[in-house]
A = this chain, B = another copy of it.
Amino acid sequence: MSARVYLAGPDVFLRDPMAFAARKKELCARHGLTGVFPLDAEIDLAGADAREAGLRISRANEALIRSCQAVIAHVTPFRGPSADVGTAYEMGFARALGLHVFAYTNVQDDFLTRTVAFVGATSRRPDGEVEDGDRMSIESFGLVDNLMLAGAVLDSGGVLASRNAATGERYTELSGFEECVVAAARALG
């Protein structure tokens, strides 16, 4: 039975997420893995209002992650300098379960560079730390994003793939994803 890999990311917000999921699953299958997309769960939404529907989807996604051996997380910056928070949540969930965590981003600048560009005006504290307009410091560990996300990938034996995609392809470029699939196939094979 081929290993199951949960495909975390903001891909679910694309216009045709199932067509995109099919492309990811095809790349997984080519390398002997079964890709599991968040929207794969059959969820009974009968009688659910919007809030309850959201909660049922959350439960279904957690169950899907529990059924997998690895996660490949799409961490391209999403509405700000960091990854989508749902994806970050799922990385933490997977890491606590002992899964391998792989990640890819289609923006190569490190976290400090991206965040400074995002917040605009910054200042320096006496100790040299850079802070934003809310006087909150900006991490400068040379990592892809917040250190918890980078730690999950590197400490679980995963791989972080980074590319510089054109703006219009930031959420759909898949070469970094394929690099993760190849690494996951090797780790799980």
Contacts and interface: CB of A to CB of B under 8 A. Distances in A.
Given A58-B147, A80-B82, A136-B13, A51 B96 contact: no
A127 to B, nearest CB: 10
B86 A146 contact: yes
A89 B101 CA distance: 12
- Of the listed residues A49, A59, A142, the one surrounded by the most CB atoms of chain B closer than 10 A to its CB is A142
Given A50-B141, A85-B88, A136-B10, A61 B96 contact: no
Contacts of A81: 79-80
Contact of A151 (B15, B54, B125): B54
> What is the size category of the interface that chain A forms with chain B?
35 or more
A180 interface: no
A57 B147 contact: yes
Interface in A124-158: 125, 131-132, 134-143, 145-152, 154-155
B79 A149 contact: no
A131 B79 CA distance: 12
- Of the listed residues A10, A78, A148, the one surrounded by the most CB atoms of chain B closer than 10 A to its CB is A148
Q: How many copies of this chain?
A: 2
A86 B146 CA distance: 6
Contacts of A29: none
26 contacts: A13-B136, A13-B138, A15-B137, A50-B140, A50-B141, A51-B142, A51-B143, A53-B141, A55-B151, A55-B154, A55-B155, A58-B151, A62-B148, A79-B80, A79-B119, A80-B82, A85-B85, A85-B146, A85-B149, A86-B147, A89-B92, A89-B146, A89-B149, A96-B96, A96-B97, A134-B171
